[in-house]
Structure 1
Amino acid sequence: MHLTLSSRFLPALVAATVLLSGCYSREDMKGETGTAETAAAVEKPATTKTPAAAETAAAAPTQPLTQANVFLEVSGSMEGFMPKTGADAQNTQFQQHVAQFLSDLNRSSAVRQKTFYRIKEKPYRDSYQQLSQTVRGGIREAASSTSIPAILDTLVSHYYQPGAVSVLISDFIYAPPRTGDQAYVKTDITDALNSTGRPDLAVSVYGFTSDFKGAFYPALKTGAKRINNCCDTPIPYYIWVMGPADAVRQFDAALLTKQPGQQAHFGVTYPTPPSSLLSRFQNKGAWYYGDAGASKRAAGATYHTVAVQEASATQPVEFVVGLDLKTLPAAYRNVAYLKQNLQLTGQDTDAKVADVFAANAQTQNSSGPESQYSHFVKVRLTRQPRAARPLQLLLNHRRPAWVGQWTTRNDSNINQVGAKTFALSSLLDGVAAVTSDEQDEAPVFTIPFTLQPGE
């Protein structure tokens, strides 16, 4: 596609209800003769209070979004995704997937009003039925190529409003007008998205691949300007959701959480997920809840202060933090991503993340508080804290690996290159420059804890 993509595009978080079957006390510790792993989590009040931010309360009911504007590119480069079908013709994966997505959105109560557009040299209003028929039956009148930056500028200038998103469906192939302009792909996207200075702009990018039956138009014109009867390899296409950060997050959660493709998120912010220390779940060593009034808290309470009585290289302390990440996008719930990007920061401590794992049948069916969490973080330390110190568990935002894997600087021989998009990384660099102050966005979430010596 030689057009510009862009778009304007949580459910309520429920605080984890931690069913504590009883907390350890000093009397418990004296009376038990089990291993350190079962006998050392002693509950006792302390003067250090759990930071309020860590106690996640249930959010108010989420109101439907006011508007979703859906834009489908219908330039010549998209015909291979939506070929004209005869009575015995097979539909492409694009046609099947996008038709179902449009149907899901049209029926969804998560958005009050939906409007549908074809993108040619500018947006043209369609009904849902008309746009769905274009997807299913093929493009009847293809548009000439359109500039991606120009379309992005149009969307942020004319379709951006509170409680609304724009959804752009396209192959996102941006062909700069001159070969020398390829070095400025990032700049062109940044300038287009920044044209009206939207301070809370967020963009979620979802990537998919499809069989492709038609002419392919490379962005790089070093070889053929058109590859007929293409393609032997799947071709990527994208759904971009654009708009205010809270609206993009809400749309993602309602309509794109279960999508099978790849994803990347820019400028989207998320509430702190429910979390708690778990005193009776895979703990090791001599520690207890140091939260004020810990032993008197009702069932369902959460804990964020670790009081360490003893720790050394030969007698390490290990404790587990339960996290409820069910409301985050799938990219941030992936265990491999979590292992690479969950970080524990603190002063005067050697505490570090020892393991990250997801809930399983055993934890989900447990009668203990671990049943309320989707993921677990095991922390290990070998040094006794000398005084109360803050700890932070944070999830860093990192560009997912698939973006680089799907990027090519030369798509003139696409059958050999494979499922890649010209300058995709540069396109998303341009998005990142607008949606964050730096290339690396703020953490996805930060959960404060306190580490202190026990009595």
Structure 2
Amino acid sequence: MTSSFRLLPAVALGLLLTGCYSRDDIKGQAGTETPAEVPPTEVPGAVAPKETAAPAVAADAGAAGPLQAINVFLEVSGSMEGFMPKTGGSGSNTRFQQHVAQFLSEVNRSSAARKTFFRIKEKPYRDSYQQLSQTVRGGIQQPASSTDIPTVLDTLVSGYYAPNTVNVLISDFIYSPKNAGAIPYISTDITDALNRAQRPDLAVSVYGYASDFRGAYYPALKTAVRKINSCCDTDIPYYFWVIGPADAVRRFDAALLEKQPAQQVHFGVKYPVPASSLLSRFQNVGSWYYGEKDASKRAAGASYHTVAVSSVSAKGPVEFVVGLDLKTLPGLYRDVKYLKPNLQLQAQDTDAKIIDVFAANDQTKNSSGAENQYTHFVKVRVTKLGKAARPLQLVLKNQRPAWISQWTTKNDSNINQAGAKTFALSSLLDGVEAVTATDQEKAPVFTIPLTLQPAD
């Protein structure tokens, strides 16, 4: 999923595991005065608002309801300066600046939730929308030396996790362990940070973007170079991590992050089963009909899930199409390139198999038939049938998308040649998955039950 606007990971937490601040330091900010630190480029005369106490966490932080609060955290360490360079005489800006300024504006305009904005330096500082937006537009004036990703994540799930609340962390997520010997434990560091507060309904959505980058680049691996000046000839990734109770994350994603294309992956987010139906008058082949008792009434808007086959053989196959309405799912799960390898048909006593998966087009959208209600279609072929009714299931597997490995590098010390990649990205997300996966086998995105039976 690409776009001419190519949004990339924002919130470069260019990090050293030396940890410039501790978990307690950060959590303390949730209930005390914000340090009086207002960079000169931010709104003149503005006073940093008081830090408010983190909302109390109810026993059931996953209780579903309207989205009530959005906390946005922007990392402003030195590694992020290239995304937010100080505005020059040309007045040009980076795609990161355009994207994040637009995103902050959209969050600020949202009337459905309380909005709070933070910058992350040696600890979180409470900002107004105007202050944080000015930092994005005008550049970082006083960058932090380093921050620590596990500490930041621990803070968000410990001190800012609440019902119907999401925390949005914008960073390049370049995690630089203290020494090379710690690299194999990156995923464990992330798991431990997210798991320490024991949030049973924790979900994380990751949106990846890429931006031009103007400034010094700080590789995670310091074995070759500590800094690449006047970087970069390639785009650099940045990310939005949306962290909170599963239902709140789902609602926020749908409201604010599905509007613009991005690379994405979702952990622990649960989605309603999409609307679906067999379509007997759309690309059907062979002798079959709806097996439901009331199917003959053909009620407007009715959906059907039973295929009654009159006759079938290798020379006379039956083919039927299932319509799916996937518009409430994230873009990842609507992408035909993801659906084709991951949508499976589970069957008994039959050779039924998927032969095509395709998206709606102008013809289906403008059709007078029932197919105009659906965004995607799954075509199934049958040549062999058992003697009794048997269940079928359309199952969309929740698999890691290919872009994650494509954006991962084990050595970012030569980033201009490596391309738009992030050090140890796969390991970071391994750590997230270990916390949010409830079973050894990941739950599917959705399961749609069907029935295949001989005609009466």
TM-score w.r.t. length of structure 1:
0.85
Matched, 1:90 2:101: no
Counterpart position of 2:203:
202
CA contact 1:429–1:439 (8 Å) conserved in 2 = no
Cα deviation, residue 63, structure 1: 5.7
Alignment of 1:232-311 (within 5 A): 232-311=233-312
The superposition leaves residues 253-304 of structure 1 with CA deviations (integer Å, 9 ceiling, x where unpaired) of: 0001122221111111100000000011110111111112221352111100
Alignment of 1:53-452 (within 5 A): 64-109=66-111, 111-438=112-439, 441-452=442-453
CA contact 2:354–2:379 (8 Å) conserved in 1 = yes
CA contact 2:70–2:165 (8 Å) conserved in 1 = yes
Cα deviation, residue 251, structure 1: 0.3
CA contact 1:433–1:439 (8 Å) conserved in 2 = no
Matched, 1:2 2:2: no
The superposition leaves residues 163-221 of structure 1 with CA deviations (integer Å, 9 ceiling, x where unpaired) of: 00000000000001121000100000000000111111111111111111111111011
Distance 1:323 1:317, change over 3 A: same
Counterpart position of 2:26:
none
User: Which amino acid in structure 1 is aligned with residue 321 of structure 2?
Assistant: V
Unaligned runs of 5+ in 1: 5-61
CA contact 1:71–1:166 (8 Å) conserved in 2 = yes
CA distance in 2, matches of 1:185, 1:154: 18
CA distance in 1, matches of 2:415, 2:452: 55
CA distance in 1, matches of 2:200, 2:149: 21
- SS of 1:65's equivalent in the other structure is coil
CA distance in 2, matches of 1:101, 1:443: 30
User: Which amino acid in structure 1 is aligned with residue 160 of structure 2?
Assistant: Y
CA distance in 2, matches of 1:210, 1:353: 39
The superposition leaves residues 128-186 of structure 1 with CA deviations (integer Å, 9 ceiling, x where unpaired) of: 00000000000011012111000000000001111000000000000011210001000
Cα deviation, residue 401, structure 1: 0.6
The superposition leaves residues 53-95 of structure 1 with CA deviations (integer Å, 9 ceiling, x where unpaired) of: xxxxxxxxx9641000000000000001001113423101100
- SS of 2:392's equivalent in the other structure is strand
CA distance in 1, matches of 2:359, 2:233: 38
Cα deviation, residue 439, structure 1: 6.8
CA contact 2:73–2:170 (8 Å) conserved in 1 = yes
Cα deviation, residue 440, structure 1: 5.5
CA distance in 2, matches of 1:210, 1:296: 56
User: Which amino acid in structure 2 is aligned with residue 208 of structure 1?
Assistant: Y
User: Which amino acid in structure 2 is aligned with residue 96 of structure 1?
Assistant: Q
CA distance in 1, matches of 2:349, 2:174: 50
CA distance in 1, matches of 2:390, 2:175: 50
CA distance in 1, matches of 2:144, 2:373: 52
User: Which amino acid in structure 1 is aligned with residue 373 of structure 2?
Assistant: Q
Q: Percent identity?
A: 73
Cα deviation, residue 309, structure 1: 1.2
TM-score w.r.t. length of structure 2:
0.85
Higher RCO, Cα 8 Å, sep 6+: 1
CA distance in 1, matches of 2:362, 2:14: 48
CA distance in 2, matches of 1:71, 1:405: 26
CA contact 1:397–1:440 (8 Å) conserved in 2 = no
The superposition leaves residues 12-31 of structure 1 with CA deviations (integer Å, 9 ceiling, x where unpaired) of: xxxxxxxxxxxxxxxxxxxx
Distance 1:335 1:291, change over 3 A: same
What is the RMSD of the two structures over their aligned residues, measured on CA atoms? Answer: 1.3
- SS of 1:172's equivalent in the other structure is coil
- SS of 2:241's equivalent in the other structure is strand
User: Which amino acid in structure 2 is aligned with residue 195 of structure 1?
Assistant: R
Distance 1:239 1:90, change over 3 A: same
CA contact 1:307–1:452 (8 Å) conserved in 2 = yes
Counterpart position of 1:42:
none
